[in-house]
Amino acid sequence: MTKLHRVVVTGIGVVSPVGNWPGEFFNNVAAGHSGIRLLPALDGQSSPVQIAAWIDSPMSDVGKGAPHDRVTKLALAAGGYALAEAGLLNNPELLVGTGVHLGSGSSCSATVDQAFYHLYRENRNRLAPMTLPRSINNAPASELAIRFGLTGVNNTYSIACASSATAIGEALRAIRHGYTERILAGGSEALLTYGILHAWHALRALAPPDLQVEASCRPFSADRNGLVLGEGAAFMVLERLTSAQARGAPILAEMIGYGTSCDATHMTHPSSTEQVRAIQNALADAEIDASAIDYVNAHGTGTVVGDSVEAESLRTVFHDTPPVSSSKAVHGHMMGAGGAIELATSILAMQESIIPPTAHCRVNDPSLGIDVVTGCMRRQTIRTALSNSFAFGGSNAVLIARK
């Protein structure tokens, strides 16, 4: 029988609309400071989408000025932060054999958008020679490997909103079962482009601007009326506990559970039955009972149906639901990167013994029947946290971390 290895997180990197390193990011999430703002014109063109959570502060020297798609630049910045925190950048010999698992929903949409604009709007008959290499789905993961010398397994997952949660979960499995020792896992998303915004607007799932623009995304609030798109990236270094201990690495959390399922019913309407199955699969994988969960970082997008179905799922799994919150209220829905940034939120919440609030949840919805943390942060010891990611197409991915 193959020996199973315990898997820990030794580094976290974040680039987001509310902070570009873990401390700043979590302080703003815990305080309910929103990164949702009015969108400027894109390449001089007005967009039907007026608001989003977008990044305008410096990301990192990594990737600046390089001819990469924005999603790749975000990945390089957040991935570099995670490797630095894990103490790996000063140990290049440890980077050899380290893998990359990256999740992204739309991947290099800016490059594709620009190419179509040149072809169909400007009637150009030639594109930049590197258009194809910059726009393929695995470009961000490949550039991470090239930039930092990560010669291990290099996988890209594109499963809509479950992309980065799946990337992390599969990294957990690979290390646990002895296939590799260390993986940089997470996600990146930069979908605030002219074409993608038009596509989202046509879906009619986006929230209109609130009178207070920063409060436009209101997960679990009775007056919720849609999601708000966000951009950003989050990565974490996952490695064997024994390896981390041997090199004296910081141990931020232990990854203990990963569960998946597929609704197999509808592209956009979620299924509580399969969400429940994914949560139960994660609990079984972690070998814990539902009562061991101290905090749930919900998928919580702010849509009427989505939040109601998730609340139903949580009521089914938990006899008394643990505290629940959604950080999407402040950093928006990062789609493929959402699972990674929300797992980072959960791990930071465990470290600080703080449950961040669901910002802007201002009208109680008694029909949900779950303990939604609203108003301000709640100070509470968190030993075990669960993070949900439920995607278009019906893919569900659930992660469990332990302090």
Task: Tell me whether residue 333 is one of the annotated catalytic residues.
Answer: yes
Catalytic residue among 68, 299, 331, 360: 299
Task: Tell me whether residue 161 is one of the annotated catalytic residues.
Answer: yes
Please tell me whether residue 37 adopts helix, strand or coil conformation.
Answer: strand
Is residue 47 classed exposed, middle or buried when 0-12, 13-18 and 19+ CB atoms within 10 A define those classes? buried
In a domain, 144, yes or no: yes
In a domain, 89, yes or no: yes
User: Of 226, 253, 280, which closes a domain?
Assistant: 253
Q: Is the pLDDT of residue 62 over 80?
A: no
Same domain, 304 and 384: yes
Q: How many residues belong to the chain?
A: 403
Residues 242 and 276 sit within 8 Å (Cβ to Cβ): no
Q: How far lies 64's CA from each of 67, 74, 123, 136, 265, in Å?
A: 9, 10, 30, 20, 43
Distance CA 216, CA 51 (A): 8
Q: What is the CATH number of the domain that holds 316?
A: 3.40.47.10
Of 34, 392, 45, whose CA–CA distance to 198 is shortest? 45
Q: What is the pLDDT of residue 44?
A: 65
Instruction: Among 43-47, 194-198, 227-231, name the most confident range.
Output: 227-231
Q: Can you tell me the mean pLDDT for 239-251? A: 97
Same domain, 240 and 298: no
Q: Which domain holds residue 280?
A: 257-402
pLDDT cut 70: percent of the chain above it: 96
Same domain, 335 and 209: no
Same domain, 249 and 262: no
Q: Can you tell me the mean pLDDT for 73-83? A: 96
Same domain, 243 and 310: no
Distance CA 308, CA 280 (A): 19
Same domain, 263 and 201: no
Please tell me whether residue 214 adopts helix, strand or coil conformation.
Answer: helix
Buried b (16+ CB within 10 A) or exposed e, 99-133: bbbbbbbbbbbbbbbbbebbeeeeeeeeeeeeeee
In a domain, 1, yes or no: no
**pLDDT tens-digit readout, 137-150:** 999 999 999 999 99
More confident residue, 241 or 136: 241
Same domain, 168 and 214: yes
Same domain, 313 and 237: no
In a domain, 2, yes or no: no
Same domain, 215 and 293: no
Q: What is the pLDDT of residue 66?
A: 60
Strands of the sheet containing 99-103, edge to edge, are 154-157, 99-103, 182-189, 232-240, 7-15, 253-262, 395-402, 384-390, 295-297, 324-325
User: Of 253, 285, 307, which closes a domain?
Assistant: 253
**pLDDT tens-digit readout, 250-273:** 999 999 999 999 999 999 999 999
User: Of 219, 237, 253, which closes a domain?
Assistant: 253
Of 147, 54, 42, whose CA–CA distance to 102 is shortest? 147
Distance CA 377, CA 257 (A): 26
Same domain, 126 and 87: yes
Same domain, 244 and 171: yes
Catalytic residue among 68, 101, 161, 361: 161
Average pLDDT, the chain: 94
Task: Tell me whether residue 266 is one of the annotated catalytic residues.
Answer: no
Q: What is the pLDDT of residue 63?
A: 47
**pLDDT tens-digit readout, 148-173:** 999 999 999 999 999 999 999 999 99
In a domain, 13, yes or no: yes
Q: What is the pLDDT of residue 64?
A: 52
Number of structural domains, the chain?
Answer: 2
Same domain, 249 and 265: no
Strand partners, 15: 233
Catalytic residue among 68, 333, 360, 361: 333
